[in-house]
Amino acid sequence: MMNFEKKLPEIAFVKTPSSADTAIIALYDDKKLTKSAALLDKEWDGLLSHHLETSEKFKAETGQMLTVTLPKKAPYVRLVLVGLGSKSKATPDGLEAAGGGLASNLRGAGCTTATFLNADDLKTKSGNPVISLMSGFLLGSYSFDEFKTVEKNKKTSPAKTVEIVATAVKTMEKEFATAKDVVSSIFLTRDLVNAPPNKLYPESFAEIIKKTLTPLGVKVQVFDDKALEKMGMGCLLAVGQASEHLPRLVIMSWEGSGSAKQKSQKPLALVGKGITFDSGGLNVKPFEGMLDMKMDMGGAATVVGTMHALASRKCKVPVVAAVALAENSISDEATRPSDIVTSYSGKTVEVLNTDAEGRLVLADALTYIQKKHDPAFVIDLATLTGAIMVALGVNHCGAFVNDDKLWKNLEKTSHATNEKLWRMPLDSSFRKEMDSEFADIKNIGSGRMGGACTAAAFLSEFIDEGRTWAHLDIAGVAMSKSKPTCPVPFASGFGVKLLNKLVEDHYE
């Protein structure tokens, strides 16, 4: 089994620095040295002032860096000046990107240990930017070399230790601990999405969930194919019946750590699509369309990562999650176009396109989570449609939400985390397109137009009347091109920050 416990670089908060090979000093775009930096400048005979005056290109904009080689007698080999941009306009997201850039800078320089010398001087009314900067540093340290042998150590490793010199050590440690837990959870999500499909399939995915979440106090229940058949989960079974790796439904329950009143409230529910590989089934995908399909379990990965984050910080309220795991494969056992299957809800579905399979597995999981747990709300996440990328590109997640209050909470959290959402329409006209001549509903619309909306309309058929629900189509945002906080250009880990903060800010 793959190792999903990544060792993060150590971020240590200290009052007195120990020896290191690199010094870090941050400054805002006025390029004024802070109090402690000015003292160092004096100690180093004006070296910092000299470089700031003579380096015209260095404007101390957010994420901009200037590396200075120090004299032989200096206590460090090099100094990295990190720009934070405008003091009044600095954002957590921009600072995280700067931290990711710092990780890349130190990796390229061969740094193993570093000391951040002026953290105390950077505080603003809205907090200390060093927390966001170091969160970005950790995110930027991500790698995925599980299957490398010859080239595994070719790239320089990220700095192993960064010391933050501060006076309020305990306070900063406590504040950073939560951020570190979220980073670990994002790494878990990224690792799951990046894992190859011959290693991550329904059975192994379920085992990884048990192994990873059970020690944190999450109750994990796994339903195998035989149990699913007895339960009548016809949609989930239909998607996975062609594969030697048969489907699984995994339920994760966190009872909450708060007061008796908090623990007794209705749970919040998360549901994730977990297609561990999507060939398209008998409606087989073209070569180019199949290349990235190991990521079709991105919704399930985000749900698992979110449960990891909630349990790690001892979330006060109960949360229950379901991931429907299947491999959409091809064989003589495969579901055929025009087959009619009976869902767990009892409704019949005409399968006209076997490549519209994600909505099928979600239908059974959504029904189960409502029937068995009666949640306060349901949020599902799925790499559901290519159509959402046509509509919104790859920086915004399409959000289909049937409740204005939930949408307002999601929107606020989206702005706070910079995990961008855009509200999409849930309209009866899209549901009408899903009418079938032969069953209760068909799994594709009448044409290519509005594909993300008709997919959401299909899911709405399996949401109880009056149930608060949001569907997040993460097909565009689950993958990422290389950027400072995501140096491995595939899995982004989108959604973990969003959902963790949504629960923290609005439901605890």
Closest CA to 303 of 229, 394, 379, 369: 379
pLDDT the model gives residue 3: 72
Residue 168 contacts by C-beta under 8 Å, 6 or more apart in sequence?
A: 120
SS3 191: helix
Residue length of the chain: 508
Please say whether the beta carbons of 369 and 322 come within 8 A.
yes
In this prediction, the residues of the chain whose per-residue pLDDT falls under 50 are: none
**Tokens, residue 109:** 């320089």
Residue 387 sits at the vertex; the CA angle it makes with 385 and 393, to the nearest 5 degrees, is 105
pLDDT the model gives residue 156: 61
pLDDT the model gives residue 271: 99
Closest CA to 251 of 292, 197, 307, 326: 307
CB crowding 111-130: b at 16 or more within 10 Å, else e: bebbbbbbbbebeeeeebbb
Hey, where are the domains in the chain? 10-167, 184-506
Q: Which of 160, 263, 285, 412 is catalytic?
A: 285
- Give the dihedral sign, CA 204/274/412/469: negative
Q: Does domain 184-506 have CATH number 3.40.630.10?
A: yes
Is 123 designated active site? no
Look at domain 10-167 and name its CATH class: alpha beta
Torsion of CA 27, 497, 485, 116, to 10 degrees: 40
Please say whether the beta carbons of 244 and 203 come within 8 A.
no
pLDDT the model gives residue 154: 56
Question: Please, which residues bridge with residue 82 across strands?
Answer: 26, 65
Residue showing tokens 């439904």: 249
**Tokens, residue 225:** 């194919």
Spatial distance between the Cα atoms of 131 and 119, rounded to a whole number of angstroms: 10
Spatial distance between the Cα atoms of 319 and 75, rounded to a whole number of angstroms: 50
The model scores a pTM over 0.85: yes
- Give the dihedral sign, CA 313/314/316/322: positive
How far is C-alpha 247 from the geometric centre of its chain's CA atoms?
Answer: 24
Q: Which of 107, 273, 359, 431 is catalytic?
A: 359
**Tokens, residue 354:** 């076997």
pLDDT the model gives residue 151: 66
Spatial distance between the Cα atoms of 386 and 12, rounded to a whole number of angstroms: 43
pLDDT the model gives residue 5: 74
Please say whether the beta carbons of 58 and 83 come within 8 A.
yes
Closest CA to 356 of 193, 214, 235: 235
DSSP string, 398-434: EEEES-HHHHHHHHHHHHHHT--EEE----HHHHHTT
Please say whether the beta carbons of 328 and 277 come within 8 A.
yes
Residue showing tokens 């959504």: 366
Please say whether the beta carbons of 315 and 491 come within 8 A.
no
Please say whether the beta carbons of 235 and 189 come within 8 A.
no
pLDDT the model gives residue 379: 99
Is 359 designated active site? yes
Torsion of CA 187, 188, 191, 193, to 10 degrees: -110
**Tokens, residue 436:** 């079938």
pLDDT the model gives residue 152: 60
Q: Write the burial class of residue 35 (CB in 10 Å: 0-12 exposed, 13-18 middle, 19+ buried).
A: exposed
- Give the dihedral sign, CA 310/311/316/322: positive
